[in-house]
Amino acid sequence: MNIGNLTFENKAFLAPMAGITHPVFRWMVREVGGAVGFTEMVSAEGIVRDFERAQKYLEPFPGEKPFAVQLFGADPGAVAAAAVISVEQGADLIDINMGCPVRKVVKAGAGAALMRDPGKLAALLRKVRAALHCPLTVKIRSGWTAGEILAPDMARIARDSGVDAIIVHPRTVAQGFSGKADWPVIERVKKAVEIPVIGNGDIRTAEDALRMMDETGCEGIMVGRGVLGNPWIFSAIRGAIGGGSAMIVPTPAEREAVVCSHLDRNIRFFGERDGIKDFYRHLSWYTKGMRGCAALRKQVLGEENHEEVRDAIHRFFALTQRDRPPEDEHPDASSG
């Protein structure tokens, strides 16, 4: 699919997730699943006011191309300036967050607050568009409440302001992250605009991805929580879209190699202590449902030594392979 002048071989994207989609995780997902990921939302004001501090959020992994950065902010001038700085740092695509429901963000007039202020929404997007040559996308929610569905109108405003594609997470602000994503809203957005639409919400398997594309007509899909512990979901989606296998189950050796590579890169990027600390959550996701995972977590919790963690992982996978028949060794690929 094309977004502006960029062509994406894979129609599936890794969703921006604060605290999760840092360079190493995007690197793992790109390598294992071939999907382009977005940075977590980065404060435009933060970039403009204190670049030194914000810079770490604009770091790509080695060779990350295209590099997609998500920004949030309320002030059109600040968001436009931050977008230009992001491009100077290597960004190839800028996404503006217009769906974050976190109170602090909304109170500041950013994220989901923009949904209720169409004039400001248009002014902000036009200002950013005028400052940028690279593709520009927006990520929106369905609306404020079930009775206040705003996504199709927002999408039209975004299109008229020069946005190249719309990403729709069809939950309302009132829903937060609970309840079901309302996929028919993605279809309504697709019918409202001709530019590409990327659907997001509740994709846990390759079949879900195909079904979303089929039911809504969206050109691309985006996966958030379904990728946690399961970067293979993107290979499965790519296979399924190409008419091939929708089920990719890594062997224990493949899983171990990915887990160890993730650990090593985390340590290279964040240092030994912080790298292991951040990795701990991912280790839990990678091994969820596997026999001995609780004991492994216990061994690694609070551990600050790279070799100790590596050894614990190696022992865990060695036992897994010795004790269990191959078909029982994998966690439910959809459990994320």
Ligand X SMILES: Cc1cc2nc3c(=O)[nH]c(=O)nc-3n(C[C@H](O)[C@H](O)[C@H](O)COP(=O)(O)O)c2cc1C
Judged by CB under 6 A, does residue 203 bind ligand X? yes
Judged by CB under 6 A, does residue 41 bind ligand X? yes
Q: Out of 3, 12, 17, 197, point to the residue binding ligand X (CB under 6 A).
A: 17
Residue placing its CB nearer to ligand X in the complex, 41 or 296: 41
Number of residue whose CB is nearest ligand X? 224
Cβ of residue 336: shortest distance to ligand X, in angstroms?
A: 8
What part of residues 305-324 is at the interface with ligand X (CB under 6 A)?
none
Q: Does 218 participate in catalysis according to the annotation?
A: no
Residue placing its CB nearer to ligand X in the complex, 165 or 312: 165
Q: Out of 137, 175, 200, 287, point to the residue binding ligand X (CB under 6 A).
A: 200
Q: How far apart are CA 150 and CA 104, in angstroms?
A: 21
Query: Which among 10-18, 130-138, 143-151, 287-295 is the span making contact with ligand X, rule CB under 6 A?
Result: 10-18
What part of residues 46-85 is at the interface with ligand X (CB under 6 A)?
70
Residue placing its CB nearer to ligand X in the complex, 200 or 205: 200
Q: Out of 152, 201, 220, 250, point to the residue binding ligand X (CB under 6 A).
A: 201
What part of residues 208-237 is at the interface with ligand X (CB under 6 A)?
223-226
Residue placing its CB nearer to ligand X in the complex, 106 or 203: 203
Judged by CB under 6 A, does residue 241 bind ligand X? no
Cβ of residue 29: shortest distance to ligand X, in angstroms?
A: 13
Catalytic residue among 100, 134, 218, 293: 100
Q: What is the 3-state secondary structure (H, E, C) of the chain?
A: CEECCEECCCCEEECCCCCCCCHHHHHHHHHHHCCEEEEEEEEHHHHHHCHHHHHHHHCCCCCCCCCEEEEECCCHHHHHHHHHHHHHCCCCEEEEEECCCCHHHHHCCCHHHHHHCHHHHHHHHHHHHHHCCCCEEEEEEEEEECCEECHHHHHHHHHHCCCCEEEEEEEECCCCCCCCCCHHHHHHHHHHCCCCEEEECCCCCHHHHHHHHHHHCCCEEEECHHHCCCCCHHHHHHHHHCCCCCCCCCCHHHHHHHHHHHHHHHHHHHCHHHHHHHHHHHHHHHHCCCCCHHHHHHHHCCCCCHHHHHHHHHHHHHHHHHHCCHHHCCCCCCCC
What part of residues 145-164 is at the interface with ligand X (CB under 6 A)?
none
Query: Which among 15-23, 126-134, 186-194, 248-256 is the span making contact with ligand X, rule CB under 6 A?
Result: 15-23
Report strand pairing: 2-3 vs 165-172. Answer: unpaired
Just list the catalytic residues.
100
In the complex, which residues of this chain contact ligand X (CB under 6 A)? Answer: 15-18, 20, 40-41, 70, 97, 99-100, 139, 169, 177, 200-203, 223-226
